[in-house]
Structure 1
């Protein structure tokens, strides 16, 4: 078994030319290549791997300074935490760092648009935004006590993705998010915290308080089907009576396309789950 320098391996694929330059004694070696999907170059040498401590003798040492220079210290910190549980050995694969770097950039875009314009507002927050925030507060609190930093980073990613989908640029939400994130990505958190107009460091900010009432489900989403085929969805109060659910579903403008000129044979309402209209 021969150890290859980890810096010559990209997603388990060995750069054979770089390997030959590094180990001239293998210049005339024949590498058994494998044909991979979408590979037009005539095959690649796929390395085996195992989890072992970084060691110069095994040529698997990664210089963190190079990664920090390329991606930033916050990305590097988050990536190390995201690799897996603290108590487990984890394989090092810098491919995964790109995903964490995209998260950092997506967080930044909640504060600045693509033209570097500051887009934070003082608008009133809505129920969906509060739900996302307080789900995150609750999860981060739990993960901190368990030292489960990888799942905490995952929750931050979920939170930022959902806030991005909602186009949320509201100070009240993002300010609390930065306090949560500051222990994990202190540099970008501190910079954005200052941009929000805060004078003291984010490290002195009070940790957000989780409020259960914001995460309680008050509505549910009903898929509305006609003859067993789902056509649209309705979000209705979770405690709405069945007859009211049926009335709203049949009266919805999207339902008219499927019932116009047809006879409604039966309407099946399973509370909090589905609505199925049988027509002929």
Structure 2
């Protein structure tokens, strides 16, 4: 093309031409038999977009473009790149958008998906549209239910209460990454902490395997470190601190005088430091807080717990913040020294880590 001909170049027409050509030739499509017979298969899956708005945003295109470029590179090296696409249509965000539009989700979501599909086709990605999925389709989510049942039958799924970041406006739970400066990333409503019953997967059963597999991943050191922290495997021991009867005074107490009753379990990677432990700290949500707090300190403890509940989990994890806490009025026995030590509560201790109690 000569420089003078640039005004005659129509990128829209050229792009349309090649999109049609690729579709006619099935350039990006595979049959099930072809997938099974591929000599160098490469599965290039990117996170499905959420059709909880009328159309895609620039962040979607930014992410999909990078993944698609990587897929094209792998194809150029001779690999059979399979790049499926789909729409993660479940969730409160889709429901909230439907409420805002005054349209039933079962009518709105298909309409949004059609527009998302139109937009994704126009960017020219090498998506295999013959393998497109919709998570609200029963033929798809029956298998997510099947997988959950297998985990449940194997004892790898359990239901219990746990702390979550809650957006009162979106009426949904937020991941820590969705909380920005204490506010919901979508609506900027202040996030609060709640305890709700939820399902947990016992990922700790696979911690060792997950950590071992990080060695062969071609990731940056910072990303590997983040994954190690997420897996959260720790080696240590669990110590038991008996809660002493009300009215116990300072001074060493013979083990024979300790009454059977409440025990505070503390997980530590350094059990040898128990000899220097001079106090116990419980998470404000710890179930023993209600039982050990004495009447004299009840109001102060209750007020502190309310303030802690208004903080999101991200804010409570910031190491640079000034630490605070209140005394419950109760004492526990240091099992190594036989000395009574005070029991405090503080918001920097989290129920989701260890036992929700630390010694210090």
Question: Shorter-chain TM-score: what band?
Answer: under 0.3
Normalised to the residue count of structure 2, the TM-score between the two structures is 0.23
Normalised to the residue count of structure 1, the TM-score between the two structures is 0.27
The higher radius of gyration belongs to 2
